[in-house]
Amino acid sequence: MMENHRIYFDNAATTRVDDRVTEIMLPLFAQYYGNPSSLHSCGTQAKEILESSRESIAGCIGANRDELFFTSGGTESNNWALKGVAHANRERGRHIIVSAIEHDCVLNTCKWLAEEGYHVTYLPVDEDGLVDVAQVKEAIGPKTILVSVMHANNEIGTIEPVEEIGAVCRDRGVLFHTDACQSFGKIPLDVTTACTDLVTINAHKIYGPKGIGALYIRKGVRIIPLLHGGGQESGMRSTTENLPAIAGFAGAAQLSVTEMDREARRLTALRKTITGHLSSAFDNFYINGHEKHRLPGHLSFSFHGFEGETIRLLLHLDDSGIAVSAGSACSSNDKSHNASHVLKAIGLNPFEARGGIRISMGRFNTENDVTVFLETLEKAFQSLTSIFSDSLIYSGSR
Ligand SMILES: Cc1ncc(COP(=O)(O)O)c(C=O)c1O
């Protein structure tokens, strides 16, 4: 059994399930285990839980309950949004626009669609990771059917101007999808004010269970299902619904939305403590992503000239019981250890783009965690300095 870290700073990868969410889920395994499609009372009871969960999550993003469809997570929702819209609208056009810093599940879906004959435009971002709305406008042509730009980036935490992008798409009659896996429950998102036609969300980034997500599909959007079968989810996504996870997702979403403002203020303050300390202690410290338009508890940073030592630093922190990440969790599946496509897109060279450190704080992190992290990081630096004295500039704690 893996030993629990004393300090878990990798909440962008996934989160610990909140005890209040576990409590909601437990009765659904042994008590309310009916199939929502069954006509007997066990089924109708399950159906009620399914529909009230749907209504509750839809309400968190200003959607109607018949516009929210459960999926197995963010990856499936993103695949469905892109493939489903592409196939349903191919007579209208075969052009799709995405940002260059989307999650791999969007980029790899685009790669697949390109092999199917679709044309994909990858929008560049500026040095803070922001998509330029004027470039979205310019890229839209008569054959464009879909624009997909994430709400907040998983690696650098930058929040994209989705309201403005959505307005441009609405004006031009093009569908707009946003991947909100990192932002949902952390910063506000309203599907109507953001002019979104499709929104991806999931539960495991907000202290809910893994393996459950949803796709918001605005009424009237032309999209085909990925899964065909017994006709669940109004025929849009067949398979028996994962009710414990769905109820947990709803509980997690409600908690996150209710606690959002207070939590955002608390995590922003913790993040500022870290950036303030590191920028004064290390002359070579720099932040990746936007300084202001970023997720509250999310910090991506590097040390100039020291990017090659990031993994060693992470292992050092891990040995001391602190879990942080190099780039995104998914990029660690990349056996060739390629440089991060996100860090390259914001202008870092391939060497620098291998050296990002990501701290993502969450509900269970405290001020004391930050203090211990900073002390441990300094010690790790001191020990690595003795090996690599030329490669870093450590000016000590000030
Ligand atoms: C921005 C973003 N999109 C999509 C996903 C994939 O979500 P899931 O793990 O639920 O498939 C993630 C999770 O890493 C993410 O951060």
Read off the pLDDT band of 398 (50, 70, 90). Answer: very low
pLDDT band at 306 (very low <50, low <70, confident <90, very high): confident
| Distances in whole angstroms, Cα of residue 394 to Cα of each of 2, 162, 272, 382, 397 | 33, 39, 20, 8, 9
In this prediction, residue 126 has a pLDDT band, given cuts at 50, 70 and 90, of very high
Q: 302: part of which helix (H) or strand (E)?
A: strand 298-303
Give residue 293's pLDDT.
Answer: 97
Q: Quick check: 390 pLDDT over 80? A: no
User: How many residues would you count in the chain?
Assistant: 398
Q: Are residues 215 and 266 in the same domain?
A: no
Q: Could you tell me the CATH number of the domain that includes residue 374?
A: 3.90.1150.10
Ligand 1 and 73: CB distance under 6 A: yes
The Cα 87–Cα 81 span in angstroms is: 10
Using the mean position of ligand 1's atoms as its centre, give its distance from the Cα of residue 68 in Å.
18
Residues 110, 82: contact at Cβ < 8 Å? yes
CA distance 235 to 372: 51
Q: Which amino acid is located at 302 in the chain?
A: S
- Ligand 1: which residue has its CA nearest to atom 16? 154
1 versus 100: which is more confidently predicted? Answer: 100
By CB atoms closer than 10 A (0-12, 13-18, 19+), residue 158 is buried
Q: Is residue 240 situated within a structural domain? A: yes
Are 112 and 129 in the same domain?
A: yes
Residue 398 inside a domain? The answer is no
Q: Which one of 71, 202, 210 would you pick to mutate in the ligand 1 pocket, going by the greatest count of ligand atoms within 8 A of its CB?
A: 202
Average pLDDT, the chain: 93
What pLDDT score was predicted for residue 386?
58
pLDDT tens-digit series, residues 313-328? 999 999 999 999 987 5
Question: Does any domain span residue 221?
Answer: yes
Q: For residue 210, is pLDDT > 70?
A: yes
Task: Please check the confidence at residue 391 and state whether its pLDDT lies above 50.
Answer: no
- The whole-number average pLDDT for the span 113-124 is 98
Question: Does the pLDDT at position 3 exceed 70?
Answer: no
| 232 and 265 assigned to the same domain | no
- Which atom of ligand 1 is closest in space to residue 150's alpha carbon? 1
Q: Is the pLDDT of residue 13 over 80?
A: yes
Q: How many CB atoms lie within 10 A of CB 335?
A: 6
Query: Does residue 63 fall inside a structural domain?
Result: yes
Is residue 91 situated within a structural domain? yes
Confidence of residue 333 (pLDDT cuts 50, 70, 90): low
Q: Name the residue range of residue 276's domain.
A: 7-14+261-387
Q: Looking up tokens 């030592």, which residue turns up? A: 309
60 is catalytic: no
- Number of structural domains found in the chain: 2
Cβ atoms 202, 215 nearer than 8 A:
no
The answer, yes or no, to whether residue 24 has pLDDT greater than 70, is: yes
Tell me: pLDDT of 396 over 50.
no
Say yes or no: 200 and 240 in one domain: yes
Residue type, 126: D
Residue 1 lies in a domain: no
95 in the same domain as 151: yes
Mean pLDDT across 347-354: 94
Its pTM stands at: 0.95
